[in-house]
Each structure stands twice: as C-alpha cells, then as structure tokens.
C-alpha cells in the first residue's frame, strides 16, 4: 500500500503522475501555464485524461533554469493548489523548499516531490509532521551545473546507495515506509550513458522495498536518441514510460497523460489475462 495523505493506492496497476508547471521558463510547455487559472484548467484536463496524481511545480529545475525565490514559488503554486481543492486525485508539490512544502500541505497537497530528497534543513521535519507521501529523488550536483561533468564509478550502485540512505533518514525522522517513493532522477547530473544504465537496471531499485517513480517524459535523453525537439517527443516518452513500468516502476511522471494512460491500459489488460 502507498499512503498519500487521505489517499491510498494498492499499486496493483502503475500510476500516472501528470505534470503541471506553473513556471514561465518551463521548456516543455513553452511557458503556457503562467497563470493559476491556466494551470488549474490544465490540471483538470490531466485528470480527465487519466492522471492518478498531479505534480504541481513553481520552479523549473531543468539544467540552467533560473532559481526562484520562496515567495515567488509560493505565489505560483498556492493559488493552483487552493483552486484544485476537492479534486478526486492527490496533489503532489514539486519543491525542495521546506517553507513551500509546509504551505502546500496546509493548502491541500498530499505529497512532496523533492528533487533534493529532503536534504534541505528542515525538510524532513515538515514531511514527518504531516501525513503526506514523499518522493526522494537522486541528483548529482546542482540543477544549474549538474550536466557539466556528471561522473560515477557505477551509477546504479551509487544512486541505489544514496536512495537507501535517504530512505533511512526519512524513516528515522518518522516518515513511515508506506509514504515513501524513490526515484533515480533521470537527467539530473547524468549523461545519456548513465541514464541508459539506470533504465536498464531500474528493477534493482525495486529491491529497496518502496515504490519506484520514473520521470523520463520529454527529457533530453529522448532527444539525444531520437533527434526530436522537445515538442515532438510524445512517442518516445510514452514508450519510455512503458519500459520503465516493465522494469518495475509503480509511478510514471509525465506530460502526456492521455497517451501514457492509453499505453498503460494495454499493459494492464495484458497482465490481467
């Protein structure tokens, strides 16, 4: 069982986490979701399209993106979370700032998606003091510079050790295992070869005993393989999500919810026979 605030999932079928960016510099959406109203409308469409969870983010963490102040991030995400009160799916807040986590949880979020794996001072306590779920993600370096020289001896082992250590820290802080998911962090301080190693070895993370989340949607590794621009990576993204699920991912974080949900319907139907 996966506990996400008042929501629970048995994970007998993979979940689709739909991405809602409330950032003017979001490359994948071309900055279309600037206003809270637009983001709310987009979120509602993603639910209609089959999203099981919504991930609301107010600061782009792509390589080279600008850092956003806590106040600006709050201004962006809080109106959206408040505007989505009463929806049928849990809201995840994509942030590494404890102040944003706390305010988002008060406003109704049920999950924290933290690319910093609760390493920021105070972050463990905020999540521990709630009933929210958390996604602990691996990254190497800081978003601004992480793609400059990513280096590992063995990327799968090193990412696995990091995630095991952060799971332990979360559990010691009082976050029950049922509330934790882990994520190797595709593209976060990784070369194409590293990302491919992680996808090939994704099943290994399943042995850590909590659900695995995979985020490959529209990422540059898909561009490197297909030669397609970011707006033209839907097929590559859907296939990648399915390949991650095939290797044990329980949650896929995607932009193209409708197409991904279709792919997973085929997967689910095939597995029910």
To ligand 8Y7, the closest distance from the beta carbon of 41 in angstroms equals: 20
Q: Report how far apart, in Å, the C-alpha atoms of 31 and of each of 26, 28, 63, 154, 172 are.
A: 5, 8, 16, 36, 39
Residue 32 annotated to the active site: no
CB closer to ligand 8Y7 out of 200 and 271? 200
**Per CB under 6 A, which of residues 182..241 are in contact with ligand 8Y7?**
183, 185-186, 213, 215, 219
Please identify, using beta-carbon distances, which residue of 178 and 271 lies nearer to ligand 8Y7: 178
Q: Which of 15, 54, 56, 61 binds ligand 8Y7 (CB under 6 A)?
A: 61
Nearer to ligand 8Y7, 105 or 181 (CB): 181
**What is the b/e burial string over 89-103, where b = at least 16 CB atoms within 10 angstroms of the residue's CB?**
bbbbbbbbbbbbbbb
SS3 67: coil
Using CB under 6 A as the binding rule, whether residue 137 contacts ligand 8Y7 is answered as: yes
Q: Which of 253, 254, 257, 263 binds ligand 8Y7 (CB under 6 A)?
A: 253
For the bound state, the minimum distance from the C-beta of residue 11 to ligand 8Y7, rounded and expressed in Å, comes to: 16
* Selected catalytic residue, list 219, 228, 233, 265: 219
219 is a catalytic site residue: yes
Q: How many CB atoms lie within 10 A of CB 190?
A: 25
The answer for 137, left when phi > 0, alpha when psi is -120 to 50, beta otherwise, is beta
Nearest CB to ligand 8Y7, comparing residues 117 and 264: 117
Start-end of H helices in the chain? 36-49, 70-83, 98-107, 123-128, 155-173, 192-200, 220-226, 234-246, 257-272
Q: How far is the CB of 118 from ligand 8Y7 (least distance, A)?
A: 12
Interface with ligand 8Y7, residue 155, by CB under 6 A: no
The helix (H) or strand (E) run that includes residue 21 is strand 15-21
Tokens representing residue 272 in the block: 């029910």
List 62, 79, 164, 228, residue binding ligand 8Y7 (CB under 6 A): 62
Sign of CA dihedral 266, 267, 270, 271: negative
Q: How far is the CB of 36 from ligand 8Y7 (least distance, A)?
A: 19
Phi/psi of residue 167, each to 5°? Answer: -60, -45
- Return the active site residues: 219, 253
Q: What is the binding site for ligand 8Y7 (CB under 6 A)?
A: 57, 61-62, 94, 113, 115, 135, 137, 183, 185-186, 213, 215, 219, 253
């Amino acid at each position: 069982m996966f506990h996400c605030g008042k929501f629970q999932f048995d994970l007998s079928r993979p979940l689709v986490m739909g991405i809602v960016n409330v950032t003017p510099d979001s490359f994948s959406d071309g900055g279309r979701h600037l206003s809270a109203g637009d983001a709310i409308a987009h979120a509602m469409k993603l639910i209609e399209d089959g999203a099981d969870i919504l991930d609301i983010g107010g600061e782009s963490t792509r390589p080279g993106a600008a850092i956003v102040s806590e106040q600006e991030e709050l201004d962006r995400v809080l109106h959206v979370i408040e505007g989505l009160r009463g929806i049928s799916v849990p809201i995840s807040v994509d942030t590494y700032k404890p102040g944003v986590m706390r305010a988002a949880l008060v406003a109704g979020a049920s999950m924290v998606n933290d690319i910093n794996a609760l390493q920021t001072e105070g972050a463990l306590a905020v999540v521990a003091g709630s009933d929210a779920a958390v996604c602990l993600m691996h990254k190497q370096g800081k978003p601004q510079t992480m793609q400059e020289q990513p280096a590992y001896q063995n990327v799968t082992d090193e990412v696995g050790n990091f995630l095991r250590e952060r799971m332990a820290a979360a559990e010691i802080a009082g976050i029950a295992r049922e509330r934790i998911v882990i994520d190797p962090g595709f593209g976060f301080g990784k070369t194409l070869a590293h990302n491919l190693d992680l996808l090939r070895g994704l099943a290994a993370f399943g042995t850590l005993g909590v659900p695995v989340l995979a985020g490959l949607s529209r990422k540059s590794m898909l561009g490197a393989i297909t030669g397609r621009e970011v707006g033209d990576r839907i097929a590559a993204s859907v296939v990648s999500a399915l390949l991650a699920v095939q290797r044990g991912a329980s949650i896929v974080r995607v932009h193209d919810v409708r197409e991904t949900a279709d792919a997973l319907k085929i997967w689910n139907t095939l597995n029910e026979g």
